[in-house]
Copies of this chain bind each other. A is one copy, B any other.
Amino acid sequence: MKRVPKKRTTVVKAPRRTTRGGSKRSVFRQKGVSRGRRGKAQLKYIPWASVELEQLNPLLQRQFIVGHDIMVARVLLKKGCIVPEHSHVNEQVTYILEGALKFRIAGKEIVVRAGEVLTIPPNMPHEAEAMADTVDLDVFNPPRADWVNKEDSYLRAATRV
């Protein structure tokens, strides 16, 4: 995907939006991040090409977009990349767009290939290994505060070719 130099995220002011339903406690509030930093849900137009591509380690790149209670991430893994075992309060749905990831989860190995999905409940430890160069779309609810706050050292160190 071609990178563009300027920020193209467009926040569109929403007239007369009604109050959102639900009473979900935000992980941002759980983690002590002020409500002010999250604000209200906003209408935003965001080309992926305008989103920072973080190089977490030589085999792992990541972009993410945060809505309000939804985070969508594009995770690019080179073959051999290991995401070491970790868990989080966030529900995760992983959709492999290209390549394949081998998960070690719930005492099993599950290979998730392009066109396949894995739903991972909150707090379930999992590890993943890229079986090929992989484009992984990860959806989280609520958004990963550790990623937003760059408290994700488990991703920045561990890698294996």
A: residues with CB less than 8 A from B are 1, 10, 12-15, 17-25, 27, 30, 40-49, 65, 67-70, 72, 89, 91, 93, 95, 97, 105-108, 110, 112-113, 115-124, 137, 139-142
Looking at the assembled complex, report how far the CB atom of A47 sits from the nearest CB atom of chain B, in whole angstroms. 4
21 example contacts (A-B, Cβ-Cβ < 8 A) are as follows A1-B115, A12-B108, A14-B121, A15-B106, A17-B121, A17-B124, A19-B123, A21-B25, A22-B89, A41-B122, A42-B119, A43-B124, A45-B117, A46-B117, A47-B116, A67-B93, A67-B119, A70-B141, A72-B95, A72-B139, A95-B137
Q: Are B106 and A43 in contact (CB under 8 A)?
A: yes
Number of copies: 2
Looking at the assembled complex, report how far the CB atom of A32 sits from the nearest CB atom of chain B, in whole angstroms. 15
